């Protein structure tokens, strides 16, 4: 996300995300910016945003055994 002209913009996902870094697609400029960006809010106060929640992984967690199966087993989470 980036701020421009008092608004906060987020790059659209695939397949539009390739345009976000190209000249002529900067947020709120020219005729093509809306193909790559969407408005997600307005800048308030001093132009900073409060922190968002920490991203979480949607990948499944798998338990893996390490060591000799006949001895005490250690496990580790693998994402």
Q: Name the pLDDT band for 28 (thresholds 50, 70, 90).
A: confident
- b/e string for 24-63 if b means 16 or more Cβ within 10 A? ebbbeeeeebeebbeeeeeeeeeeeeeeeeeeeeeeeeee
What is the pLDDT at residue 5? Answer: 73
Check if the beta carbon of residue 10 is closer than 8 Å to that of residue 17.
no
Is the model's pLDDT at 41 over the cut of 60?
yes
For the chain, give the number of residues. Answer: 79
């Amino acid at each position: 996300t980036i701020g421009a002209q008092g608004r906060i913009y987020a790059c659209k996902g695939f397949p539009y995300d390739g345009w976000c870094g190209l000249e002529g697609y900067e947020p709120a400029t020219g005729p093509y910016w809306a193909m790559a960006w969407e408005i997600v809010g307005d800048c308030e106060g001093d132009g900073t945003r409060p922190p968002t929640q920490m991203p979480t992984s949607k990948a499944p967690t798998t338990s893996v055994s390490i060591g000799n199966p006949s001895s005490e087993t250690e496990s580790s989470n693998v994402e």
